[in-house]
Structure 1
Amino acid sequence: MRTYVFPGQGAQQKGMGSSLFDEFSDLTRSADSILGYSIKDLCLEDPDRLLDQTQYTQPAMYVVNALSYYRKLRETGLVPDFVAGHSLGEYNALLAAEVFDFETGLRMVRKRGELMGRASGGGMAAVLNASEAEIRTILAENGLDSVDLANFNTPSQIVISGRAEDIETARPLFQTGNHLFVPLRTSGAFHSRYMESARVEFDGFLSGISFSKPRIPVVSNVTARVYEDHLVKESLTKQMVNAVRWSDTVEHLLGYSGMEFEEVGHGTVLTKLLKKILRELANERKAPLRTAPKSTENAVETVRRWNERYTVGTRFRSTSGNYGNLETATAATVLFGHRAAVYMQGYRGYFDLQELEPVAAAQ
């Protein structure tokens, strides 16, 4: 079985979709007409540096994801067994399932991007190497019940969302021990209670739109289960104020025998998250074995020697050859009580120390 997954905001990059716009010229012209600007120029040249602004990012990602899917259908003729998308990417999953057409989806995404782009005074941050229970406990014990959990990207990579001042207050609470705190560049508290006014307005906008029954099962961000046909509108509005349950989505799909995943659209953000989810789920199943004192002691010693030898900012390559331009963003640490690892800038994830070799030493 196969699931196509579509990335959302954060995967955008100047130059994305370079070979798609001319191939699907009719849809590109249609997008330009709806948006009032050239989607090709925005994605390829970004002359006014708008691509990272929410109201432009979301239509751009939607169009590139959509054209990527249409190309895949044209080249392979294969329709997936399931589809899912991370936040904005869910609109592409619904498009692939023929719940609405390309133009209708783009109009919804444009409105969604405008509403989310208006949000101000909010902030978001990724908390790494902490479970949901740990994060909720730390927030509650420090009087930060005003902070919501917004994205469950992997079992140990969770995004928090709330007022900017509350996110800043939370920072030192997650910079102790093995936890890491990575602020995200957003002006709004997305996927939280603070998007309620945007949700209400978006709900009104969707009232005039008709949705068809999905032709492919679509897994919802809100429930991490397959959409119920009559709840598409409700799920899309709820998504604005509820967490993206991506890790649960992947785990649910893994319950189907022989499930394989393929990312459709620009970049490999979801492919990397999938690898982390699989690794962390496997580690959870081995938890009783991980607590052996010798294993922990070995990891601690490995991390100590590593940090004595390499400073933050050192460049590495993967020994498997898959990644050749990595740079450490933090000191090495011990994850899950046994794993010696370091967080990499650009890759935005952890690598085992044994999977890395310094670039300078290899030249």
Structure 2
Amino acid sequence: MLVVAFAGQGSQRAGMGSTLFPRYRDVVNCANRILGYSLQDLCAAGGPRLTRTEFTQPAVFVVNKLLYEDTLANDGIVPDVMIGHSLGEINALHATGVLDFEEALQLVKARGAFMAEHNGNGAMVALVGERDQLLHEVSTNESEVYVANDNSPRQIVVAGTKDGIKRLSQRLSLQQAATVIPLAVSGPFHCPLMAGVDDRMGEYLEGCLLREPCIPVVSNYSAQPYRSDVMRTWLAKQVVSTVRWLETIQYLSGSGPLAVREIATSPVLTPLIEDCLKRMRESVMP
């Protein structure tokens, strides 16, 4: 089964899209009109502005779209299912016909603005270590820290208040229980500190025409394929809920061997997916 996986925030790089923008001028011009600024200039400059979620999200979404268009043109792949990590899920929904490009970019623009306006004054870090131990530490010792991304057997991402993240990071470092990697993000995404953003997303989505996907898209919120009756709810709740990436890979692997094609400026999801699959293979070895 061929799975296409779109990366989200964290995959952005200065200079991304530079070879694609000249070849997809109509798409880029349309994006610049919707956004009100030059994506080419934003991506070329990089720096702090590209890490602000209201700019990161549109930039990553458009570059992902161009990378996927290029992949289709060059390789002619035919995916069986699509997934996306956080923001990348909107790329998957666009690629499967749920939203056209302008509708999807308008949604991404709104999503970035809502999340920027309600940033929760928090922080996020990636924790590399044994997942079960890390989950125990978060659930038993920190009331101000939440699992934002359940990525693999060896990595989770947590979000929370700056003080809570600092306490947890110091404790895990002293215990040598995890490698702590601060993330260059502008808020504590995918956790209850973003409460209210889901309501605003829900209201925005009420005005959107969401079509049936032409191939399945597995939701971050549920780790199950999107259905028309829950699409708006799951897409809105995603921004305040854990990205269930490990469960998503487990769900997909139940259908047989996976071949994964990541769509990203740099490979951020492939190592996580390989870690998930490796641990699953080990668990069934005699």
Q: Which moved more, 1:9-18 or 1:185-194?
A: 185-194
| Cα 1:192/1:180, change in 2 over 3 Å | same
Aligned to 2:11: 11
Residue 125 of structure 1 and its aligned partner are, at CA, apart by 1.6
TM-score w.r.t. the length of structure 1 is: 0.74
Pairs within 5 Å for 1:221-240: 221-240=220-239
The DSSP-based 3-state class of the residue aligned with 1:229 is coil
Deviation at 1:4?
0.6
SS of the residue corresponding to residue 125 of structure 1 reads: strand
Distance 2:105 2:214 in 1: 19
Identity level (%): 37
Normalised TM-score (structure 2): 0.92
Task: Map residues 205-354 of structure 1 onto 2, 5 A cutoff.
Answer: 205-285=204-284
Retained in 2: the 8 A contact 1:138–1:173? no
3-state SS of 2:261 partner: strand
The corresponding residue for 1:181 is: 180
Post-superposition CA distance 1:73-118 (Å, at most 9, x none) = 2233333110000101000010111000011111111111112223
Of stretches 250-259 and 1-10 in structure 1, the one that deviates more from structure 2 is 250-259
- 8 Å CA contact 1:87, 1:239 repeated in 2: yes
CA 87–210 in structure 1, closer or farther in 2 if over 3 Å, else same:
same
Cα distance in 1 for residues equivalent to 2:75 and 2:262: 15
Contact 2:53 2:115 in 1 (8 A): yes
What CA distance in whole angstroms lies between the structure 2 residues aligned with 1:136 and 1:273? 17
2:156 matched residue in structure 1:
158
Q: How does 1:99-114 map to 2 (within 5 A)?
A: 99-114=98-113
- Using the alignment, how far apart are the partners of 1:178 and 1:165 within structure 2? 19
Aligned to 1:318: none
Corresponding residue of 1:146: 144
1:121 has 2:135 as partner = no
Amino acid at match of 2:130: A
Q: Cα distance 1:114–1:209, how it changes in 2: closer, same or farther (>3 A)?
A: same
Q: Which residue of 2 aligns with 1:20?
A: 20
**Which has the higher Rg, Structure 1 or Structure 2?**
1
Aligned to 1:30: 30
Distance 1:140 1:14 in 2: 36
**Match for 2:169: what amino acid?**
R
Structure 1 residue 188: deviation in Å? 1.6
User: How large is the RMSD of aligned CA atoms in angstroms?
Assistant: 1.9
Task: Quote the Cα distance in structure 2 between the aligned partners of 1:199 and 1:247.
Answer: 23
| Residue pairs, 1:47-66, within 5 angstroms | 49-66=48-65
Deviation at 1:179, TM superposition (A): 2.4
Aligned residue type for 2:234? S
Aligned-residue offset at 1:285: 4.3
Where do 5+ consecutive residues of structure 2 fail to align? none
Q: Is the 8 A contact 1:154 1:276 kept in 2?
A: yes
Aligned equivalents of 1:31, 1:41: Cα separation in 2: 13
Q: Read off the aligned partner of 1:30 and give its amino acid letter.
A: C
Structure 2 counterpart SS, 1:34: helix
The structure with the greater share of residues assigned to helix is 2
Counterpart secondary structure, 1:190: coil
Shift of 1:172: 2.7
SS of the residue 1:8 aligns to: coil
Give, in whole Å, the separation in 1 of the partners of 2:197 and 2:266: 28
Structure showing greater relative contact order (alpha-carbon pairs closer than 8 Å, 6 or more residues apart): 2
Q: How many residues of Structure 1 are paired with residues of Structure 2 in the alignment? A: 284
